[in-house]
Structures are given as C-alpha cells and as structure tokens.
Amino acid sequence: MPKGVGVSMSEFIILDENENQKGIPQTEEPKEPQKKPSRLRGYIVGVLCFLRKNLQWKLLSLLVAVLVWVTIMNIDDPYITVTIPDVPVSSLNESVLQERGKISEIESGKTVTLKVHAPSSIAEKLTAQDFLAVADYRQMSLVYSVPIQVSVRDDSPYNKEDIDITIESREPEVMVLTLENYTSQTFRVDIQTKGEAAEGYYVSDMVVKPNLVQISGSEKQIERIERVVVEVGTGQVKKSFERDAVIHAYDKNGYEIDESMITFDTKEVNVEVTVLPTKKILLLITTQGEPAYGYECTNIQHVPTEIMIAGKAEDLTDIYSMTIPFDITMQSKDYGAKINIETYLEEYYGGKYVLVDEEKYVTVTAYIERLPSRDFKIKSADISVVGLTEGYDLIFTTKNDINIKVFGRQEELDKLTPQALKLYVDVTDYEPGSYYVSVNSATDAFVTVSHGTIGIAIEEAVDAMVVDDGTGNVDDDMPDSDAGEDTGQEGTAPSE
C-alpha cells in the first residue's frame, strides 16, 4: 500500500477477502445447509446498512434542513420585540389596608410599559388591552412597594397555545405607595344647571334627594374637596321634571377630584326641577312716614322700574305691578337705600312669585328738601280742649303766648291764620293736677305744624252760689272774677 494512504477497517476487510478469492488456499469447512432469509429481514438489514453508511453526513444534512426551515420561517414571519405603553395596573386586596385604618395613594406604577417578543404578524397587533397587570397589596414590602405581575389576558384573541408571546421586561417592576389615614366626611350636594330654559320660562326651584353624601378616602383627598355637585340639563325646558344625576366632587380650583381616589356612599341622587312661566311687571315705590319737621320729600327715584317674575299661570294673571313702601320717617336730607325684592315677594305675596332677574335689589333715593316756615304767636283762647272729663275744669297756666312754627310751601303759609291751624290739647283720662301738654293741630292746610307745649291745671268744678239781694233778682256769684281770662275754650278739635 502506498505510504500516506489511509485505509479504513472496512476497506481492509474487503481487501483481505479479495486476496483470498485470488488463490490463497483456504481450508474448506463442512458446509451446512443454509436457510433462505425472509424478505422482511432483508429489508431491515438493508435499511440498517444504508443508515450505517455515511451516518455523519446524514446527521449533518438533517441539522441543515432544520436550520433552513427555521430560517425560512423567520424570513416569512420573523420574531420581533415591540413596546406596549400605558398598560393599566389593577390593585388587588386593598381591603388589607382599610382594615388597619389606612388608605394608599399611588406614587408610581399606575401604568406599566412592556417589551414583548412575538411573531411580527402578532406583535404589530398587540395593545395594552391584551395584557393584565396587577399589584397584589398582600405582597407589599416594608417600604410600601408592590410587585407588578403581567400576563396575557384570558380573553385576548392572541392567548393561544400556538402563539408564542414572551414578556421580556416591564417598567416599572413595582408599584410604589404612600399610606395615609382613612377618613370619611359628609358633604352637601349642590345642583348646577346646564343650559337655559325656553323663552318665557324659568327654572324656579331644584330639590336633590338625598341632599347629603358621605365621601371616604385619604385625609389629603378629602381635604381637597371644595364642593359636591350634580349637573342637570335645563336647556329649552318648558315644564317641570324629575331625573337621576351623577355626583361629582371638585377642588377649590374647579378641577374634578379623581374618583379612583375617593369613594361615595351613593353615586347618584334624584333631582326635582320646577319650571314656571314668566311675566314682566312694573315696580313702584311709595313713601312711608313723614320726614323731619320742616322737610318734605320732593321726589323719589328707583332702579329698576320693571322686574321679571315667575309663577303659576293662574297667579300671573292677577298681577301687573308691585308697590314697595319706602320709609322716610324723620329724614332731613336726601336718603337712599337698597330694598331686597325677593324678601318683599316672599313676605307680601306668600311665595307665590319668584324673582327671575339676577339683580335682587331695587335702589331707591328720596330727595328731601327744607320747607319755608312761619311763626305764629298763639293765645290760649285759640286753643281748644279735647277729652276733658265731666266735672273738671281746665285752666291754662301759661300766661304768655306760645310760639308755633309752621312749615309748608309759601303760598300755603301766606293763607294761614291762628284759627285755621285748629290747635287743641288732648287731656283724655287726665286727673286733677298740673301738666305741660302738647299743642296739636288739625288743620286742613298742606303744612307741617310743630308741636308746642303749654301749661295746664285740671281742677274739680265749683258749683255756682245763688245770692238773693232781697229784690227778687238772682246773681250767679263766680268764684273768680278773672277766670274767663285764664280758661281756654272748651270744645272738640276739628276732625282730621
């Protein structure tokens, strides 16, 4: 054999057999009769011989075939990694905190971002709704962090055995919590309308049942609540109605409180809305009382002069104007004030009407001017006595004239006389004694008479003595010869 040529064992055996066939004498052994092999055995032997020949090449060919198949499959639908953002994280077993009087606020980990490895035909269709992310509070650590577990949702169309979806990573991996005290507080429910009623109609009243709601949550969130309201649509309404409305809580800046952070004991309330027809009427002002002595109200102005009210249709037919009294008693200069129209409607009409206008007050100004005056010197003889009890006499103890000042327009003052003033004193129920009493006036003139005072004495009347001078003439002897000068005229003051 040439040097350097390798011969395998099988080839050596073949060469040896060939050499024996070429003439090397062999000892003949007795031959036994041979059985003819079966056909099945021949097939098996043939397959084994085939597999035994070049086995390493056959195995290599199989491996290459697999690699080619994988390559072809990756070229046709390759695996890729995609990012799925904003997968919401659900909290489980929050009650374990409430049992300890605590509640959590999530600092981070409300949502999670996933990196997912899947065939491109599937990966490109995956969304956050295909994944379930949960944080179980029973697994919370001492630093208030909860592991986030992510899986493909059972109801996802891609959750199948023949679809390989691998979640490579999640960010963040934990939900970080802040623990606060758990508390509850009761709030009043206000109503906020949305839209205007139809022309000629007005939303006069709204009632919410129940009007109180209890809200629970962390102390921080409860303290943020400024108002609790329900919104009710009232656009173009013409009649009263009733409906349910959802409660919302707002902070002082008007931002709605995240409802995931608080709990309402009831989320809906019933709202009754009353809608009434409207009518425009005149608003009038009348003065009440008298200004100070010597003054008169020369004019009165007010704004507004018309108001819009609402009420039942049958009640609106009975009203065309409304008059509000304005008290100017003892005013000596221009006097202004604001009067609450709503209060007047309630007090004088028993709540039959509702003010529609946004302006709830009428501004009134009374113009007060000083009148010309005239002084009168009055004698007691010009003063009548009213109310003197029978059996009593009245004597004016003031000897001098009294001064009476009269205010009025000049033309009225010029026509006056002391007698036209119709002055009198009223001594009804006075007992005997000395007094200073007011001098009143019952004049028909358009003037203001100041009240003067005068001294009086009330005495029991003395019977007249009868004297017979022997001639048959009878004289009435008066107790005081000058009594006529001191006694005022008795009579009745003119009716006012």
Residue 481 pLDDT class (50, 70, 90 cuts):
very low
Determine which of 109-123, 280-294, 472-486 has the lowest per-residue pLDDT on average: 472-486
Question: Is residue 310 scored above 90 in pLDDT?
Answer: yes
**C-beta separation of 330 from 378 below 8 A:** no
**C-beta separation of 143 from 108 below 8 A:** no
Question: Is residue 34 scored above 70 in pLDDT?
Answer: no
Question: Is residue 339 scored above 80 in pLDDT?
Answer: yes
Structure confidence by residue, pLDDT tens digits, 433-472: 999 999 999 999 888 888 889 999 999 987 644 444 444 4
The residue written with tokens 């009579």 in the block is 491
Query: Which H or E run includes 97?
Result: helix 95-98
Q: What is the mean pLDDT of the chain?
A: 83
Structure tokens at 187: 């709030």
Residues 148, 171: Cα–Cα separation, whole Å? 9
Residue 51's pLDDT is what?
63
The residue written with tokens 């031959």 in the block is 31
Count the residues in the chain. 496
**C-beta separation of 208 from 193 below 8 A:** no
Question: Is residue 256 scored above 90 in pLDDT?
Answer: yes
Query: Which H or E run includes 308?
Result: strand 306-310
Say how far residue 100 (Cα) sits from the centre of its chain.
33
Residue 366 pLDDT class (50, 70, 90 cuts):
very high
Residue 464's pLDDT is what?
47
**C-beta separation of 60 from 104 below 8 A:** no
**C-beta separation of 152 from 130 below 8 A:** yes
Structure confidence by residue, pLDDT tens digits, 100-112: 888 888 889 999 9
Sign of CA dihedral 275, 276, 277, 280: negative
Residue 96's pLDDT is what?
87
Q: Is 68 helix (H, G, I), strand (E, B) or coil?
A: helix
Mean pLDDT of the 191-209 span:
92
Residue of 10 and 161 predicted with greater confidence: 161
Residues 179, 146: Cα–Cα separation, whole Å? 13
Determine which of 13-22, 155-164, 377-386, 421-430 has the lowest per-residue pLDDT on average: 13-22
Q: How far is CA 188 from CA 229, 248, 250, 282, 430, in A?
A: 8, 12, 13, 38, 63
Question: Is residue 20 scored above 60 in pLDDT?
Answer: no
Residue of 35 and 410 predicted with greater confidence: 410
Count CB neighbours of 245 within 10 A: 18
Question: Is residue 141 scored above 60 in pLDDT?
Answer: yes
Q: How far is CA 194 from CA 199, 207, 279, in A?
A: 15, 15, 23
Considering 80-84, 302-306, 401-405, the range whose residues carry the highest mean pLDDT is 302-306
Question: Is residue 299 scored above 70 in pLDDT?
Answer: yes
Determine which of 104-113, 229-238, 343-352, 477-486 has the lowest per-residue pLDDT on average: 477-486
Residues 235, 346: Cα–Cα separation, whole Å? 27
Residue 72's pLDDT is what?
61
Q: Does pTM surpass 0.85?
A: no
Cβ burial of 277 (10 Å; 0-12, 13-18, 19+) is: middle
Q: Which amino acid is at 138?
A: R
Residue 483's pLDDT is what?
35
Structure confidence by residue, pLDDT tens digits, 380-410: 999 999 999 989 999 999 989 999 988 888 8
Residue 462's pLDDT is what?
77
